[in-house]
Amino acid sequence: MCLGIPMKIIERQTPSRAVAESLGVKRIVCTDFVPEVKTGNFVLVHVGYAMQIIEQWEASERIKFLEEILAGEGAIGDGVSK
């Protein structure tokens, strides 16, 4: 299973590279898989590659879910015997 992190494109540097931000963290991402991406778009990023353009509402929902996991709420495996 792959984990795609929702990020907002904040700067297009070259046709195949952009700066993206999520939760206050900025990263340079490869945009070869989404050449049509524009500044302001939201994308799912996996190992430094923007894999897919997503809507803002979807990015918000995914970020909320990640924040819950990071806060220890609703973590996978809750209630499972160890």
Cβ neighbours, 10 Å, residue 54: 18
pLDDT digits (tens, 9 = 90+) for 34-47: 999 999 999 999 99
Do the Cβ atoms of 44 and 31 come closer than 8 Å? no
Does this model's pTM top 0.75? yes
% of the chain surpassing 90 pLDDT: 72
pLDDT in tens, 45-77: 999 999 999 999 999 999 998 888 888 855 555
Which domains does the chain show, CATH number per domain?
A: 5-70 (2.30.30.140)
- Asked whether the predicted pLDDT for residue 82 surpasses 50, the reply is no
- C-beta of residue 9 within 8 angstroms of C-beta of residue 18: yes
Q: Is the pLDDT of residue 5 over 60?
A: yes
